Copies of this chain bind each other. A is one copy, B any other.
């Protein structure tokens, strides 16, 4: 049996919720999508929790899962997860921390580890400390919910093996210590950041107002839970396949590089609403000649969702359908094609949601169920059932006759 080639098309933020003003349809349901429907008719469909049920995926964690990596295992420590949650991109080599805004007295003794569970103004405090440069390290800081925040150090020679500054108790703040010589620079930069946070926040207008109101000032940032992104086993070693990516948006390109894909340089693939769908289709067809797996990400559907623009999202979906039609015209049953999304971005909420995404897989030998349309509800009735994001790659590999037998 000759292994088949594989094409995975991820329409970013494609899926949605029913919208009353449009007859209770989703943008995907409202769009003309002959190519998507043809794929569904000749394949097997289902829905997918990209990370897990009820978890809202970021595009980074979602793509890791779609490529078969458990995003909870890819990150070491809680820091990078907190940072990802706060919306800071964590690249390989960065060190990320969970942080508290806290209250210390003049001798840096912790008076309140949560600064009175501060609720407002942390965005302004975050701005006062983010962006500084210490030695050659760039500091990115973003507030989280209440007293929480995330810190990412970016630059050369960092290592996550440093101890916490947060004493987890009402005592003097701790000096971060390197757990090995390779982390000494990180500890030094981190301690300097904490000192500077105290200097920048002590007299900040937000804190002056808090003190005037009898509230404890959020006058220092206490990092803990240092972590970095693990080196990932590339797809080529993991599954023995060569992989190429056609993507416009930086974050997704970064993840593709992280898993060892050849990221194509496609002029016109902008990652925006103006992306050149025809150029993406042609690039994908070309790369299918040289690679076992080709991955396409189209970002525009997510952008329309974030903009809350139903009609724009419909239009984007119809453009993607046109792109898919071009591709399907030129390939045959020896390619397994999977069409799905990395998460839902409902126009009603203008942000990612935890609603599962539709998925359809087609190709020679793939079982054909009764699903005739590609949308959130029709796909859910398909033979694929409800799967998880990290199952997609193994399933596609199995259908492409590239999976390994476990047992005798």
Contacts and interface: CB of A to CB of B under 8 A. Distances in A.
Contact of A24 (B57, B368, B384, B395): B368
A234 interface: no
A276 B251 CA distance: 56
A353 B53 contact: no
Interface string A346-360: 101111111100000
Interface string A271-310: 0000000000000000000000000000000000000000
A116 interface: no
A84 B403 CA distance: 15
A380 interface: yes
A398 B407 CA distance: 28
Contacts of A59: 407-408
A52 interface: yes
A157 interface: no
B53 A405 contact: no
A398 B61 contact: no
A387 interface: yes
Contacts of A236: none
Interface in A297-355: 346, 348-355
A1 interface: yes
A56 B3 CA distance: 14
A98 interface: no
A17 B365 contact: yes
A178 interface: no
Contacts of A382: 380
Given A59-B407, A403-B55, A406-B51, A365 B380 contact: no
Contacts of A386: 384-387
B391 A54 contact: yes
Interface in A354-408: 354-355, 365-370, 376-377, 380-388, 391, 393-399, 401, 403-408
A60 B407 CA distance: 6
Contacts of A84: 406-408
A93 interface: no
A85 interface: yes
B377 A355 contact: no
Contacts of A155: none
Given A53-B394, A401-B349, A71 B407 contact: yes
16 contacts: A52-B394, A54-B393, A54-B397, A56-B406, A58-B407, A85-B405, A346-B365, A353-B398, A355-B367, A355-B398, A367-B376, A380-B383, A380-B385, A381-B383, A384-B386, A385-B386
Interface of A: 1, 17-18, 24, 26, 46-47, 51-62, 71, 81, 84-85, 87-89, 145, 240, 251, 346, 348-355, 365-370, 376-377, 380-388, 391, 393-399, 401, 403-408
